[in-house]
Amino acid sequence: MDLVEGVGESSSPPRSFGSFSGNEIVNDVFNRLVEIGNEEATNRPGFRDQLEAHFSRFPASYALDINMDRVEDVLLHQKLLVLAKDPEKRLVYHVRLLENFWTRADDDDDDDDGDQQELTEVGFEPFFKLEYLNLEVRKSCVDKDGENLEGESSRRVDIPAMPVHEVIFSAIDKPKLLSQLSALLSDIDLNIREAHVFSTTDGYSLDVFVVDGWPFQETEALNEAMEKAIARSEGSWSGSSHSKSDVEKAADFVDAEIDRRLLKIGEKFASGTCGDLFRGEYLGQDVAVKILRSEHLNQSLEDEFSHEVAMLREVQHSNIVRFIGACTKQPPLCIITEYMTGGSLYEYLHKNHNTLMLPQLVKFAIDVCKGMDYLHKNNIIHRDLKTANLLMDSQNVVKVADFGVARFLTQGGVMTAETGTYRWMAPEVINHQLYDQKADVFSFAIVLWELVTAKVPYENMTPMQAALGVRQGLRPDVPKNSHPKLVELMQRGWDSNPDNRLSFSDIKIELEGLLREIEDSAEN
């Protein structure tokens, strides 16, 4: 699997689109609707053009996933997207029972064909299947050879028939929406079997989930449960929970503004979903310039930009990327920091395929701990600690970077609303539970595993699959032949109970002791 950090790795779908240009499927859908006598297709003026406009809002994968035997689902999707535009309806949903689609385990030879036939009831071709991430089901399932997933011999285990429902959501698209939806389903004890996720070119989402766990075929009670769950999280479905006033934003940028005329922009060396990174020069020093693309600017992104500048102004440490200034008064908005010649640890490990020797590995980990310990002692939680946000200077000193989603802890010391990147995200954050600085410690444990193994966490899973697995206790395989102290720190760091995780101050002490042992052993 070719994993590209920053693309498909965040907890919201990537925002790059290309209009669907092939009319074949649109024609097929239209003709099929006419054939079955759909009233809208046969009587509504301009229906064919409206249908084409609908498909053009989506990436090509949407059209390719449509099941022609359930072609009227396209009209349902259109209606849900229209309803999502109503500001009074931040989250629109539709629930229905899927006929002839049930949970089962069978060791017959035609198993795969049967599963495929059931899956086509959904209205889409399978996008990815998530049922085996349910650990309770996993304990009861058997493979084709009669081996269960626990490795014990078994002839066959019959799983009781269970109703399967489809839940379709439509809402204003935003970062972390997919995670919020999965947490919402989990809140009413629904297990996700499949997910089909689409973002439109005009800023909306269409998310189709196939779920089980609701014991009744009728949907009235499930609709009521869904409505109550949405009400409990009311306020979280808009794009931004708080917009700063102009006065607040101006206060953030005191002493941060640089003279744009003195900034020289060089070559681009990295790109993200909403901005690009350039090498530059400011007052005779090499700098990195993060420029937000004007066409992507919205209130939510401007707020994130404001937060990042505010955070960077507050921190100064040898293991934190040094903030130089920002251009905040007119587009393009940009942030200027010191230029880190060594690039990110993600590139070092996964693109350059470097393997770390134990002393260097421990030094890198100590650098991260020093930077994170500094942040935590200043009541700052990073919330997106991962190797892509750990940069190296010319002396191979690692520094913590990217404070776009960092926040000061609340007075109560806990936070809500998840953010971060799925492969490194703590279960309490994924589950939308209260969390504190120990969420960063969980992410560090995954980083430490990454430094030891030089592998991408859960590399054979999609980010969403990894997140669902972590919620149910999944962790990376403990690396063989690695130092016992590093294994201990990993396992304690990714403990499901945040109270069992060490602080960065304590982890730093443990690692410094390990480094002394390694160096003493080398001398002897």
Helix (H) or strand (E) holding 63: helix 60-65
Burial class (CB in 10 A: 0-12, 13-18, 19+), 232: exposed
Q: What does the alpha-carbon distance between residue 447 and residue 452 come to, in Å, rounded to a whole number?
A: 9
Q: What does the alpha-carbon distance between residue 262 and residue 259 come to, in Å, rounded to a whole number?
A: 6
3-state secondary structure of 221: helix
Q: What is 194-218 written as a DSSP string? A: EEEEEE-TTSEEEEEEEEE----S-
Q: What are phi and psi of 448, to 5 degrees?
A: -60, -45
Query: Distance of CA 473 to CAs 143, 189, 192, 469, 498, Å?
Result: 22, 16, 16, 6, 13
* C-alpha closest to that of 35 among 1, 62, 68, 65: 68
Q: Does 384 qualify as catalytic in the annotation? A: yes
Q: What is 471-518 written as a DSSP string? A: HTT--PPPPTT--HHHHHHHHHHT-SSGGGSPPHHHHHHHHHHHHHHH
Contact 128, 462 (CB under 8 A): yes
Q: Give the pair of three-digit tokens for residue 182.
A: 């999965």
Strands 204-212 and 263-271 come out as unpaired
Q: What does the alpha-carbon distance between residue 137 and residue 211 come to, in Å, rounded to a whole number?
A: 13
3-state secondary structure of 39: helix
User: Who contacts 503 (Cβ-Cβ below 8 Å, separation ≥6)?
Assistant: 373, 376, 437, 441
**Residue 122 CB: number of other CB atoms within 10 A?**
23
Contact 417, 469 (CB under 8 A): no
* 3-state per-residue secondary structure call for 350-407: HHCCCCCCHHHHHHHHHHHHHHHHHHHHCCEECCCCCHHHEEECCCCCEEECCCCCCE
3-state secondary structure of 325: strand
Query: Which position among 384, 402, 440, 495 bears the catalytic label?
Result: 384
Query: Distance of CA 75 to CAs 22, 38, 266, 362, Å?
Result: 19, 10, 49, 57
> Which residues have a catalytic role annotated?
384
